[in-house]
Amino acid sequence: MPKPNAQTPQAGADAGRTRVDDRRSRTRVRPSGATDGITITRWSLALSLTIALSVVTAAFTLVWNQTEELGETQVQLVAIVASLDARMTGVETRMTGLETRMTGLETRVAGLESEVRDMREEIRELADLIRDRELRPPAQ
């Protein structure tokens, strides 16, 4: 394990510095020879956070507006469905009335068909009587 050498140039320069001084110097002063170009300062961090919060706020506002519009649309749809339900109830009532009337008409038609059959039978009987009379020789 190497022993710290008090005579190295770095050891002498760091002797009077504190940790806080080191942090400040890293953010403000770029060491010579560093070429990566990435330096994060408080100002650039604050700017980045402000932009990020603005984007998040804008996105939240858009989502909130869409949610309100969806809520309004839902209320309109519920009103339309309620109106359609009322209309369907009216249609069902009318259909029930029509079914009742149709049943009555079917009963009347069946009665009329029965009367027509009876009348046809009577007409046949009368026709048979008329033929019998015509075919019989006259009584002397």
pLDDT tens by residue, 78-136: 999 999 999 999 999 999 999 999 999 999 999 999 999 999 999 999 999 999 888 87
Separation CA 53–CA 40 (nearest Å): 18
The answer to whether residue 52 sits within a structural domain is yes
Domain assignment present for residue 34? The answer is no
Count CA within 13 A, CB hemisphere, residue 6: 0
12 within a domain of the structure (yes/no): no
Q: Which residue is associated with the tokens 């079917």?
A: 106
Write out the residue range of the structural domain in which residue 120 sits.
Answer: 23-29+39-135
**Is 2 inside any structural domain?**
no
Residue 4 neighbours by CB under 8 Å, 6+ apart: 11
Would you say residue 3 lies in a domain?
no
- 128, part of any domain: yes
Number of structural domains the chain divides into:
1
pTM: predicted TM-score of the whole model, two decimal places: 0.43
CA distance 15 to 17: 6
Helix (H) or strand (E) holding 94: helix 42-135
